[in-house]
Amino acid sequence: MIEHSVADAPAAGARSASPAHVAALIAELRRAYPDATCALTHQDPFQLLVATILSAQCTDARVNMVTPVLFAAYADAAAMSRASQEELEGIIRSTGFYRNKAKSIRAASARIVDAFGGRVPRTMEELLTLPGVARKTANVVLGAGYGIAVGVVVDTHVDRLAHRLGLSDGKNPEAIEQDLMRVVPREDWIDLSHLLIFHGRQVCQARKPECGSCPVAALCPSAPYYLAGKEPPARGSKAMARERAARKGGTKKPPVKKKPHVKKTAVKKTAVTKKPAATKKAKKK
């Protein structure tokens, strides 16, 4: 049973969560999702790296359907670097954006072989030198692949829940990550992203959060608003603005009706014939 109440929680979107509040929140999420872990199926850091690149704009379930075939054909960085663009595209096509993903995977694999002896590097700085790898992907590999807590993975679920739970008012993933790193103990950074992702998928969805059955509703500053059928105060990120619009079924301004364009027809000017000058009457002799 949660002893805290929403009165103890920070205002929605604020960064004022106390250490005790954060600890209670994480404890309740762990009780609710004891098996929360990385949803991407992998056997080693290299497979995790490739799977994370494939997961961009794609569901983890879809990626997990593709990677067994992919890794059966190309088991490591050396083999993957030798794969042709066409062969790779054919295997990963269903994950979307397959051309760019294939290029990134081949180039990252080649760099791992050339610069790191075929092993995925273990530092943020080195991982960021790999093509197709940004901070989110690097955090996934370091956290889930090596157990190294350098930062917090911020995907769409973590973005949404960090704002709803009052842990961040950041307007982009980098700012949200910094907020979470400030309020959450380092030893919880890796677990936090898994817990929030599980909770976001199962209960706290974007369109309709199930606050009535939420295990952390008493710790959530947004829950009273949703339960009352209202929107919480505006939160910072663009993702939250898109979520708000989606729940309202789209809030775009109606298009302005333009007046039909009437093509002007050129009026031909008719030549005006000048009247002949009046002749002077002959003078009388």
Active site residue ranges:
136, 155
| Contact criterion met (CB below 8 Å) for 27 and 11 | no
Buried b / exposed e across 72-108, counting CB within 10 Å, b at 16+? eebebbeebbebeeeebeebbeebeebeebbebbbeb
Burial status of residue 57 (CB atoms within 10 A of its CB: 0-12, 13-18, 19 or more): exposed
Instruction: Match 């690149």 to its residue by tokens.
Output: 53
CA-nearest of 17, 89, 101 to 55 is 101
Q: Which residues contact 39 (CB under 8 A, 6 or more apart)?
A: 60, 64, 197
* Three-class HEC string of 95-141: HCCHHHHHHHHHHHHHHHHHHHCCCCCCCHHHHCCCCCCCHHHHHHH
Distance CA 150, CA 136 (A): 11
